[in-house]
Structure 1
Amino acid sequence: MNQPDYYQLLEVPRSASAEDIKKSYRKLAMKYHPDHSGGDKGSEEKFKRISEAYAVLSDAEKRRQYDTYGSTDFHQRYTQEDIFKNFDFSSIFEDLGFGGSGFSFFGNPRQSKGRFSFGDHTGCSRRQAPPQRGKDLYIDISLTLREIATGTSRTVTLKHTGRPERISVKIPKGMIHGKKLRLAGKGNPGSFQGPPGDLYIRSSVLPDSRFRAEDFDLHVDGEIRLSESILGTTIGVPTIDGGELNLHIPPGTRHKTRMRLPGYGLPHMNDDGSGDLYVVILVRVPDQLTDSQRSLVEKLAETGL
């Protein structure tokens, strides 16, 4: 259920002073008090709501809590008994000419000359709720493949209701796309002395100029010449940690052949294993030939190659 905004109810800005809040409440109370509204149910409800708003915003500590947590969370933390506890409208109502005694703030709504009772607006009494766990928070981060391979850290802003908090988070290696890192107790605060929720960091992978990731496996292209595909060769293959491996290409290797290098992919997040590195062999065929190259190819063709 959406809770009303107390500032809107009292028709004041959030920056209003205590005196401005009091003046606005007195004005609205004169308009909606049951002694002036002739028993109109809408006015009666409005009077209850503005009185509740005034009971909160005229109290410095309650107002601070309301501004900090927002309307919905405030109502999860405070019952109506809490809101009206030790609050005395008598002097205000005396100034307005409604009498200064006989005001009850709980129970079934009732109206009579000089007295009015404030019950729960939903038509039922609210009791102290049991401890409630706070909601979990989710933050998305983008990582390079190198960061996933080695681990890194990030400073993130936790958008707790009303109070942002910046913390440094250690990102373990192996946090590939879609993985979640749980930080217990770093979520939204609980209600009624309940425990806080958890914070979940979710990862996505930034594009890389050389490597393509598929879960923990990596794919990289390795170019060779046409003659090398026929005769065989050895090429250097980059690794995600910045190193290089020598890969033997056997004679007769075809275009787009995949060659596997076990254990040279991305590290697993929760164990010592790693994915594999796949080298996709691309046979480079020249667009143009020199006269001597053409002559040699023609001779090879004559041999049946």
Structure 2
Amino acid sequence: MAKRDYYDVLGVSKGASAEEIKKAYRSKAKELHPDRNKDNPNAESAFKEAGEAYDILKDAEKKAAYDRFGHAAFEGGTGAGARPGGGFSGQGDFASAFSDVFDDLFGDFMGGGRGGGAGQRAARGADLRYNLRISLDDAYRGLQKTINVPTSVACDTCNGSGAEGGVEPSTCPTCSGMGKVRAQQGFFTVERTCPTCSGMGQIIKNPCDSCGGQGRVQKDRSLSVNIPAGVETGTRIRLASEGEAGMRGGPPGDLYIFIEVDRHEIFEREETNLFCRVPVSVTKAALGGDIEVPTIDGGRSRVKIPEGSQSGRQMRLRGKGMPALRGGSTGDMFIELAVETPVNLTSRQKELLREFEELSEENNPESSSFFRSVKSFWDGMKS
């Protein structure tokens, strides 16, 4: 049976570009794949025919010979694998043709593309996280703090190589340093992690006794950390290369310090502003006067209470808040008054308060306004 024209097999014209030919073959390979045509007994032969056509037309030299002599250009060899004028190339079989578009059809199958690459000989160490609790006073001033971090460090015995005496690892004989091996399964080339070196690409004949060939050992490290002023809960500080040591001399990871600022017994924080709730007596709120309030820097500030101040009234002390983490600005401090009702009154104090109440019916505008509104509400309900 005469062979079909390769251009007809792929459904392209004779002047088609290399990209058009490849695209046409991808389409044909998907359409004719035996796994998708189990009920069609001719699917496999058509699939192979498309692969044979693509193997010829993808190669500029073969394509030129085919365009000039047709199928006769390859009669001196064994099918699509022969070069013009005879002689088998050794690379021109159908599996080779199909593997050229294997990744385009199915992605990175089994975790690796074509060509591969050197194995991961020196794996980077993992990043570490350290949670650090500090006081609001420390967050205001900043501090230098020493922390102990349990981590992996480079083995001193083998200098991180993992080999006894610090000898350099040798290339894995199974994968030739690629870290991956390939196996032919029908039309497919399956790529897997090398079982000998576990993907490292190198092997250690005499592992270091101290680290077991890992090139690193577990150890607590003491680090001095600079906590800048203005940090708040959630602030993350990165210490480059202070994380876990890499395997077999690989680069270390990073250390991330996450800050948590404890609650303060006097101040509440909102970004760079501070809030302080200050109780004042009824007489101080009514008559006014001066009070002293604490500030986060350990100092004192005198605040004037206006006459007739009510609970919840706020007064601002500019520049008495927290420093900004980035930039030279400083927040404010807000004083919130809490008018305190006296308790455990003596008989004389009660007598004076009753007398005061009788004389102060017009001195409570808020309560007077409220009860007028209540009376109006009740009157409206009755009508």
| TM bucket, shorter chain | 0.5 to 0.7
Q: Which amino acid aligns with 1:155?
A: T
Cα distance in 1 for partners of 2:250, 2:137 equals 40
Q: Match of 1:263, SS?
A: coil
Q: Match of 2:260, SS?
A: strand
Moved more, 216-225 or 243-252: 216-225
Cα distance in 1 for partners of 2:319, 2:124 equals 42
1:222–1:280 Cα contact (<8 Å) kept: yes
Cα distance in 1 for partners of 2:220, 2:349 equals 69
Alignment of 1:77-96 (within 5 A): none
Cα distance in 1 for partners of 2:319, 2:247 equals 48
Alignment of 1:1-305 (within 5 A): 127-129=118-120, 132-161=123-152, 162-191=218-247, 194-303=250-359, 304=361, 305=363
CA drift at 1:256: 2.6
Unpaired stretches in structure 2, ≥5 consecutive residues: 1-109, 153-217, 364-383
Q: Match of 2:129, SS?
A: strand
Q: Match of 1:147, SS?
A: helix
Moved more, 290-299 or 204-213: 290-299
Q: Match of 2:292, SS?
A: strand
1:177–1:215 Cα contact (<8 Å) kept: no
Deviation >6 Å, runs of 4+: none
Cα distance in 1 for partners of 2:331, 2:340 equals 28
Cα distance in 2 for partners of 1:281, 1:246 equals 14
Task: Tell me: CA distance 1:210–1:302, structure 2 relative to 1, closer, same or farther (3 Å).
Answer: same
Q: Match of 2:120, SS?
A: coil
CA drift at 1:193: 5.7
Cα distance in 1 for partners of 2:350, 2:219 equals 74
Per-residue CA deviations over 1:15-47 (Å, capped at 9, x if unaligned) read: xxxxxxxxxxxxxxxxxxxxxxxxxxxxxxxxx
C-alpha RMSD over aligned residues: 2.7
Q: Which amino acid aligns with 1:149?
A: Y
Unpaired stretches in structure 1, ≥5 consecutive residues: 1-121
Task: Provide TM-score, normalisation by structure 2.
Answer: 0.44
Q: Which amino acid aligns with 2:136?
A: L
Q: Which has the higher contact order (CA 8 A, sep 6+)?
A: 2
Task: Provide TM-score, normalisation by structure 1.
Answer: 0.54
1:176–1:216 Cα contact (<8 Å) kept: no
Which structure has the greater CA radius of gyration?
A: 2
CA drift at 1:262: 2.5
Q: Match of 2:138, SS?
A: helix
CA drift at 1:206: 2.0
Q: Which amino acid aligns with 2:285?
A: S
Q: Which amino acid aligns with 2:131?
A: D
> How many corresponding residue pairs?
184
Q: Which amino acid aligns with 1:297?
A: L
Identity %: 32
Moved more, 203-212 or 293-302: 293-302
